[in-house]
Amino acid sequence: MVEKYKKEVANDVVFNLEYNSERQRLLIPEYGRHLQKLIDQATIIEDAETRNKAAKYIIQVMGSLNPHLRDVPDFQHKLWDQLFIMSDFKLDVESPYPIPSRDVLQLKPDVLQYPQNFPKYRFYGNNIKYMIDVANKWDDGEMKNALILVIANHMKKSYLSWNKDTVKDDVIFEHLFELSGGTINLLQSTEELLNTTDLLRTNKRMSNKITPAGPPKIQSNKNNNKGGKTKPFQKNNNQK
Closest residue by Cα to residue 171 from 125, 121, 127, 208:
121
What pLDDT does 230 receive?
53
Alpha helices in 65-168 (DSSP H): 73-86, 102-105, 126-137, 142-162
Confidence band (pLDDT; 50, 70, 90) for 202? low
CB 176 within 8 A of CB 132: yes
Mean pLDDT for 207-212 is: 50
What pLDDT does 159 receive?
87
CB 196 within 8 A of CB 166: yes
Mean pLDDT for 72-86 is: 87
What pLDDT does 162 receive?
79
**End-to-end CA gap in the chain:** 72
What pLDDT does 189 receive?
81
pTM of the entire predicted model: 0.44
Asked whether the predicted pLDDT for residue 234 surpasses 80, the reply is: no
DSSP annotation of 171: H
H or E element that contains 198? helix 196-205
Quick one: what percent of the chain has pLDDT higher than 90?
Answer: 19
Quick one: what percent of the chain has pLDDT higher than 70?
Answer: 74
Say how far apart CA 125 and CA 141 lie, in whole Å. 26
Say how far apart CA 199 and CA 218 lie, in whole Å. 38
Confidence band (pLDDT; 50, 70, 90) for 54? very high
Supply the mean pLDDT for the chain.
Answer: 79
Say how far apart CA 196 and CA 204 lie, in whole Å. 12
Say how far apart CA 183 and CA 131 lie, in whole Å. 13
Q: Where are the chain's structural domains?
A: 31-106, 122-202
Asked whether the predicted pLDDT for residue 236 surpasses 60, the reply is: no
Mean pLDDT for 202-222 is: 54
What pLDDT does 25 receive?
83
What pLDDT does 1 receive?
47
CB 87 within 8 A of CB 41: no
Say how far apart CA 163 and CA 179 lie, in whole Å. 19
Report the number of secondary-structure helices (H) and strands (E) in the chain.
9, 0
Mean pLDDT for 126-153 is: 89
Most trustworthy range by pLDDT among 53-57, 210-214, 224-228: 53-57
